[in-house]
Amino acid sequence: MSDTKRVALAFSGGLDTTVCVPLLQEEYGYDEVIGVTVDVGQPESEFEEAEETAEALELDHYVVDAKDEFAALCFDAVRANASYQGYPLGTALARPVIAKAILDVAKEQGCSGLAHGCTGKGNDQLRFEAVWRDSDLEVIAPVRELGLTREFEQEYAAERNLPVEGGDEGKYSIDTNLWSRSVEGSELEDPSYVPPEDIYEWTKAPTGETLEIEIGFENGYPVSLDEAEMEPVELIEELNELAGGYGVGRSDIMEDRMLGLKVRENYEHPAATVLLNAHAALEDLVLTKEERAFKKQVDHEWSEKGYQGLVNAPLVRALEGFIAETQKRATGSVTIRFEGGQARPVGRKSKYAVYSAEAASFNTEDIVGGIEQNDATGVAKYHGFQERLANRVIDSEE
């Protein structure tokens, strides 16, 4: 083994990660930087940008395909009805997958350091480092540690002739993967500013048109669209396209970041909206009232850990024990109607439905298991008994 000091950098080819390359050599004493880009379903153009920039920087560049692994995690999120303040967690769930893939490349390539270009304000630094700090490699965050600003980065890049197209990456900060596209920054930071139509790329403005589709589930995992079986990546891509065409899956929320900062976020996530709505509708059919209520708490905790990038926490494994038990019955299908930008469940069926047409009907004498209508008389007499008694005591005191 040579004593070349190597560091693996999470590399996108954007301004932040580009300036990190010389900084890792000059400020952190590394001889060699390797760039790693992990594919979690970003658009082709992002890989081209990364590839071109890496070439211009003469950077050793690795691309790792983690789409299947990421899609599988997104489907675990569906089983947990995962949402953080209305955000289906696209970026949050992708980070641990990306971090793990980079760590693997770093080890293979004999690196002694790991670096990312995140700032000190966001969530992503925490999610990356939660994974990386489980290794004995040095963890480096140049943008945060050197207190870099965008202006400084632009000047630095210009001075050194770094390959950043004039530092112009459009005015918004965008993060895209299979599960969601986030748009932040610029005027959008002002919570009162109404986003212009051109921030959206995945969703059309809803029109009066409607469409009905059917999603099939097996044990809580989405498996088919209109009875055609599909692999997770394919199903997500197809639904992003299809539902996005009807304006499904836009959200504009105030998000409380892990460090406490409240920020305005805009997202697009057509497939996530369809699958989450359909899954919830199926659970409503097959779970008992108490299971539905309790699972809300389980789902909430899962979502919190998901947002934190801690999907491997022991708590999550324990929650998944409960989730797995409930999902044994989450097999069936749900009809969803796209209408007015919504993806609304309009039909559901399952062989595990906790439902008896006979019992619910007004037309039969027998309810179920020999219980008759008149058997409710005793229940009706008792109902509200304690309240009536308590009110009498209160009234007599006055």
Shortest Cβ 47–ligand ARG spacing (Å): 17
Nearer to ligand ARG, 153 or 339 (CB): 153
Helix/strand/coil percent split, the chain, to 5? 45, 20, 35
Active site residue 124: yes
Residue type, 277: N
Active-site position among 39, 60, 104, 173: 173
The sign of the torsion formed by the CA atoms of 299, 86, 228, 233 equals negative
Among 42, 53, 83, 123, binds ligand ARG (CB under 6 A): 123
Of the pair 124, 283, the CB lying nearest ligand ARG is at 124
Q: Using the minimum distance from each CB to ligand ARG, give the nearer residue, 184 or 339.
A: 184
Q: Determine the Cα angle at 140 with ends 171 and 66, to 5°.
A: 70
**Distances, alpha carbon 382 to alpha carbons 385, 390, 391, in Å:** 5, 14, 15
Q: Establish if 255 lies at the interface with ligand ARG (CB under 6 A).
A: yes
Query: Which of 6, 95, 250, 329 is an active site residue?
Result: 95
Give, for 182, the enclosing helix (H) or strand (E): strand 181-184
For the CB of residue 180, give the shortest distance to ligand ARG in the complex, in Å. Answer: 8
Query: Measured between alpha carbons, how far is 279 from 274 in angstroms, rounded to an integer?
Result: 8
CB 233 within 8 Å of CB 74: no
* Single residue of 17, 42, 177, 182 touching ligand ARG by CB under 6 A: 182
Name which position in 46, 49, 124, 339 contacts ligand ARG (CB under 6 A). Answer: 124
265 contacts ligand ARG (rule: CB under 6 A) = yes
- Return the closest-CA partner of residue 22 out of 125, 164, 124: 164
If the CB atoms of residues 83 and 182 are measured against ligand ARG, the closer one turns out to be: 182
Question: Tokens 């097996």 map to which residue?
Answer: 218
Q: Please say if 252 is a catalytic residue.
A: no
For ligand ARG, what does the binding mask look like between residues 140 and 179, x meaning CB under 6 A? ---------------------------------x-x----
Cα gap 326→322, rounded to integer Å: 7
Using the rule CB under 6 A, is 327 a contact of ligand ARG? Answer: no
Q: Which of 6, 76, 79, 124 is catalytic?
A: 124
- Which residue, 92 or 286, is less far from ligand ARG as judged by CB? 92
Q: Could you say which residues in the range 80-99 bind ligand ARG, by CB under 6 A? A: 91-92
Nearest approach, Cβ of 138 to ligand ARG (angstroms)? 23
CB of 255 to ligand ARG, least distance (A): 6
Residues 6 or more apart whose CB falls under 8 angstroms from that of 136 comprise none
Question: Choosing from 6, 16, 175, 303, which is the catalytic residue?
Answer: 16
Structural tokens at position 152: 């400084």
Hunting for tokens 């595990």 — which residue is that? 352
Q: Closest approach of Cβ 118 to ligand ARG, in Å?
A: 7
Which residues does residue 253 pair with via DSSP β-bridges, in sequence order?
A: 265
Give the shortest CB-345-to-ligand ARG separation in angstroms: 27
Closest separation between CB of residue 40 and ligand ARG, Å? 12
Contacts of residue 380, Cβ cutoff 8 Å, sequence gap at least 6: none
CA angle 252, 181, 211 (to 5 degrees): 80
Question: In angstroms, rounded to a whole number, what is the distance separating the alpha carbons of residues 398 and 396?
Answer: 6
Q: Can you name the residues that pair with 222 across neighbouring β-strands?
A: 217
> Is 180 a catalytic site residue?
no
> Which residues are identified as catalytic?
16, 95, 124, 173
For ligand ARG, the binding residues (CB under 6 A) are 91-92, 123-124, 173, 175, 182, 184, 255, 265
